[in-house]
Structure 1
Amino acid sequence: MYAERAAQMVPAYRDIHRLATVLIDERAESDARILVLGAGGGLETRSFAEAQAGWTFDAVDPSAAMLDLAAQNLRAHASRVRMHHGYIDDAPSGPFAAATSLLTLHFLPYDQRRHTAAQVRQRLAPGAPFVVAHLSFPQGDSDERELWIGRHVANLIASGIDPADVNKARSAIATGVPVLSPEEDRAVLLEAGFTGVTEFFSAFTFRGWVGYA
């Protein structure tokens, strides 16, 4: 159910996992240790684990319920995954060969997002990639912002999500989620000390970047 809903709400949801795997694999060794921040239900970690049999993972999430779901989804790979309840400050010190934060950073305001990115960088080995993807669309002009929110809502409806849930999503994005512009999101990574920051994904209101420690 969780996987189906995520795939309805996020364009190319499973493709993002595959793209992230490719970006990690460019730099990571076959026995790499990967930090998965905001591990959610464990679906991206499962995708990484299925792609690379030698990678190990530290999965971090502030929701105990989501970590329980992740444990269920990762039963086949349990020996390679360590679960951590909390935020980036609760994560192991590393060093990690790569890190990801998929569909989570848009819940953090600018300063907290920059702190999180900086803490991730401190835990990465030199040159290690940090792959992020989340809500990111223009915020300066109110008409343009509303246009993108409307497109997001239209896509949710087209994906078959219940109209009542769509209305909740519109309200959350419009007033409750501290979405940044693509320019601000890029700045967060640069200010945290990442180099070679490149946008690798863009689909309606979602974008993804990779930067290097």
Structure 2
Amino acid sequence: MSNRVNLIIGTINDLPKADKAFDAASCLLVLHFIDDVQEKLELLRSIHAHLKPGAPFVLVSAYGDRDGNELKDRLHVWRSFWLDAGRSPDKVNEMVNTGIMKISFLPEKQIEGLLQESGFTNVTKFFVTGLFGGWICHAGSNGLDIECDV
């Protein structure tokens, strides 16, 4: 496999300039650390631009509407998990206040909208656990396809 895979450690800006497109991509536990929605969109667009049309893309991110009951309920379950695991209430509150509540939550529909706006199609949520969700989608045409009538 080593002759077919090239691991690049860094950001999308560290990728070689696109003389070829990638067969697949993933963005795992990154999007919720970007505060600005426009920056999130630019990252997703950049990923899309590096993919072959039809290539799969997997996104896993924290998600939820900060003002909605559903996220509050999931946070309650998350807190209960850590309390049941033996963490002190003070430590759990610290984890929530200095960690979890500092990340950039977006509602599920907004994440799906950003993926679609970035050019991805067939956006499907396939994974949910606690505060995180996972989506798989595919790169739509990136404008490089050439159609001709014969």
Do they superpose with TM above 0.5? yes
Residue-by-residue CA offset, 1:43-95 (whole Å, 9 max, x unaligned): xxxxxxxxxx77514xxxxxxxxxxxxxxxxxxxxxxx3323xx322333351
Q: Which has the higher helix share?
A: 1
1:197 to 123, 127, 131: 123
Report how many aligned residue pairs link the two structures.
Answer: 135
Does structure 2 conserve the Cα–Cα contact (< 8 Å) formed by 1:99 and 1:120? yes
Shift of 1:157: 3.4
The answer for the alignment partner of 2:5 in structure 1 is 56
- Aligned-pair identity in percent equals 28
**Inter-partner Cα distance in structure 2 for 1:166 and 1:192:** 36
Distance 1:144 1:106 in 2: 17
Q: Distance in 2 between matches of 1:82 and 1:144?
A: 37
* Match of residue 22, structure 2, among 96, 99, 103: 96
Q: Quickly say closer, same or farther: Cα 1:170–1:125, change in 2 above 3 A.
A: same
String of CA shifts for 1:98-122, please: whole Å, max 9, x gaps.
1111111111132111110000000
Paired residues of 1:130 and 1:212 also in contact (CA < 8 A): yes
SS of aligned partner of 2:47: helix
Contact 1:201 1:208 in 2 (8 A): yes
Larger Rg, first or second structure (1 or 2): 2
Q: Take 1:101 and 1:158, find their aligned partners in 2: how far apart are those partners?
A: 31
Assess if the C-alpha contact under 8 Å between 1:105 and 1:113 holds in 2: yes
TM-score, normalization by structure 1: 0.55
Paired residue for 2:51? 124
- When normalised by structure 2's length, the TM-score is 0.76
Instruction: Structure 1 unaligned segments of length 5 or more: list them.
Output: 1-30, 32-52, 58-80
* Structure 1 segments of 4+ aligned residues over 6 angstroms from their partners: none
Q: CA deviation at 1:165?
A: 4.8
Inter-partner Cα distance in structure 2 for 1:146 and 1:204: 11
Higher RCO, 1 vs 2 (CA within 8 Å, ≥6 residues apart): 2
- Give the aligned partner of residue 146 of structure 2: none
Deviation at residue 207 of structure 1 after TM alignment: 0.6
Q: What is the alpha-carbon root mean square deviation over aligned residues?
A: 2.4
